[in-house]
Amino acid sequence: MESAPVNVVCFATFFKGGDFMRTCKAEGCNVILVTKEKMLQEDWPRDVLDEVFALPNDAPVELFLDLVSHIAKTRKPGRIVALEEFDVVIAALAREHLCLPGMSSSTAKAFRDKFAMTVKARDAGLTVPEFVAAINDEEIAEYLQRVPPPWIIKPRSDVSAIGIRKVETPDEVWKAIEELNQREALRERASYHLLARFIPGEVFHVDSLVTAGKVAFAGVNKYGRPPLQVAHGGGAYISQTINHHSADKKNLLEINRRLIKAMNMETGATHAEFIKSEADGDFYFLEIAARVGGAYIADVLEAASGINLWREWARLEITDSKSQHRLKPRKEYAGIILSLARQEFPDTSAYNDPEIWYRVKKKHHAGLIVRSKEQERVTELLNDYGRRFADDFIAVLPPLERPE
C-alpha cells in the first residue's frame, strides 16, 4: 500500500528557504507555507506550494498554534520546520501542540538565547568570552571589577549585530542598563541583554547539517571583517572559505562538533560563529543558530563544496535517517562580497572575471560570489572587488536597533 505524502509546514516570516520547499515537493511532500502579511508579496516558489497562509505582522504565538490546528483538520502535518531565526521557538511550540517529532521548545529556546547558549558552551568546556547577564546588580558590579574593558552589550535573542553596542567604562554600562530599563517594551529591557568581554580578532563561521545528533556536513568560512564592524562602520561584507588543510579548520570542526552535541541538536541546520583572539590565538564561542546562515552563506558553501544546505536539510527532515546518502563535498574555494548600494539596481557587468559564480539580484544591494580551485585566487578577487565596490556602489546606513 502506497503511503500518503508527508505534509510539511514551513514557518518563514522572512523571505527565504525556496530551495527547501522545492526539494520537499520534489521528494513527494505536500508543502504549506506560513508567513506574515508583510511577506506575502515576495517571490515565494508558489508552483510547489499547496497552501499559503499569511498571519498578521504582530501575530501572537497562540495564533500560530490555532493556525496549525486549523491546517491539521484536513492536512495533518508530518513536519513543522522553521526556516527563519525568529520562527525557531514558535515552530517548536507548534510541534509540541500537535505532538509531532522535532526539536523541543526548551532546546529551541537555547538556540534563540545568547545567555543560555553561552552557558551551555561554557559547561561543555568550550572557551567563551567572560560574560554576565544584565540582571543582578551585584553580579554586574563584580564582573566590571574583574573583567577588563571594553565590553559589549547585546540582546539575548536578536541576530547578526542588531542592537549590539560597545562600551568602555562602568559608567557607560550602568547608563546603558538604566536606559534599557526605561523602555516601554518589556522584552527590550536589561534582563534580555548579555554583557560580555569584547575580544578583538578574526571571526569565523561554521555552517553544518546535522542528522541523528551527528554532523553530516560542515563548511568553515572566515569573515573579511567582523560583522559588528560592518554593521557599525559600513563597508562591504566579505566571507570566504578557509584553507581545507589548515589547523584552524581542524580545530573549528572539532569545537563545532562539541558545541552541537552540547546544544542537543538532533536534525537540522546550524550556523555557529567563533572569534580567534588576537591576544592568545584561541577560538572563543560567539553564538549558534538552528538555521541556515543568512547573507548568501548557503550559496558560497554550494559554490565551494557542491552541497546546497537548504536542499540537503529538506532531505534530512523528510527521510529516514538510516537511508540517507553520504554527502561528498568537493574541496574548492569560494567567497562573497556584498554591500548596500546607492543604486536601486546596481550594474555589476564591469566585473567580468570567469570565477564569478553568482550575481546578487536584490534592490539596493551589490554582490558577487566567486569560485576557484585556488584559495589565493578567491582572496585576490575579493580584495580587488572590495576596493572597487567602495567607489562603485557602497552606501552606509545606521546600524539597526531592532530587526525589520
Share of the chain above pLDDT 90, in %: 89
By C-alpha distance, which of 108, 130, 136, 107 is closest to 118? Answer: 130
Q: How much is the pLDDT for 321?
A: 55
The pLDDT of 386-391, averaged and rounded, is 93
Write the DSSP assignment of 49-81 as a string of letters. -SEEEEE-TT--HHHHHHHHHHHHHHS--SEEE
The pLDDT of 209-218, averaged and rounded, is 96
Domain ranges across the chain: 7-104, 130-197, 201-392
Pair 321, 312: CB distance under 8 Å: no
Share of the chain above pLDDT 70, in %: 93
Instruction: Choose the weakest-confidence range: 38-42, 202-206, 289-293, 397-401.
Output: 397-401
C-alpha cell of residue 163: 542592537
pLDDT band at 397 (very low <50, low <70, confident <90, very high): low
> Alpha-carbon distance 195 to 172, whole Å?
12
> Alpha-carbon distance 299 to 306, whole Å?
9
Q: How much is the pLDDT for 103?
A: 96
Topology classification of domain 7-104? Rossmann fold (3.40.50)
Pair 242, 204: CB distance under 8 Å: yes
Q: What is the tens place of the pLDDT at every residue in 260-316?
A: 999 999 999 999 999 999 999 999 999 999 999 999 999 999 999 999 999 999 999
> Alpha-carbon distance 7 to 78, whole Å?
5
Q: How much is the pLDDT for 136?
A: 98
Q: Looking at the predicted structure, is the pLDDT value of residue 71 above 50?
A: yes
pLDDT band at 1 (very low <50, low <70, confident <90, very high): very low
> Alpha-carbon distance 353 to 102, whole Å?
44
C-alpha cell of residue 243: 584553507
Q: Which residue has the higher pLDDT, 226 or 28?
A: 28
Q: What is the tens place of the pLDDT at every residue in 34-60?
A: 999 999 999 999 999 999 999 999 999
Other CB atoms within 10 Å distance of the CB of residue 324: 14
Residue position matching grid coordinates 568560512: 221
Q: How far is CA 75 from CA 79, 94, 187, in A?
A: 11, 15, 35
- CATH among 3.40.50.360, 3.20.10.10, 3.40.50.300, 3.30.470.20 for 201-392: 3.30.470.20
Percent composition of the chain: helix, strand, coil (DSSP 3-state, to 5): 40, 25, 35
Q: How much is the pLDDT for 144?
A: 98
> Alpha-carbon distance 186 to 52, whole Å?
32
Residue position matching grid coordinates 517529532: 101
Q: How much is the pLDDT for 225?
A: 75
> Alpha-carbon distance 370 to 382, whole Å?
8
Q: What is the tens place of the pLDDT at every residue in 228-246?
A: 666 555 679 999 999 999 9
The pLDDT of 77-106, averaged and rounded, is 96
**CATH class assigned to 130-197:** alpha beta
Q: pTM for the full model?
A: 0.93
Other CB atoms within 10 Å distance of the CB of residue 134: 24
3-class secondary structure, 204: strand
> Alpha-carbon distance 126 to 138, whole Å?
26
Q: What is the tens place of the pLDDT at every residue in 142-199?
A: 999 999 999 999 999 976 567 899 999 999 999 999 999 999 999 999 999 999 999 9
> Alpha-carbon distance 150 to 402, whole Å?
23
Q: Looking at the predicted structure, is the pLDDT value of residue 138 above 60?
A: yes
Q: How much is the pLDDT for 3?
A: 75
Q: How much is the pLDDT for 399?
A: 54
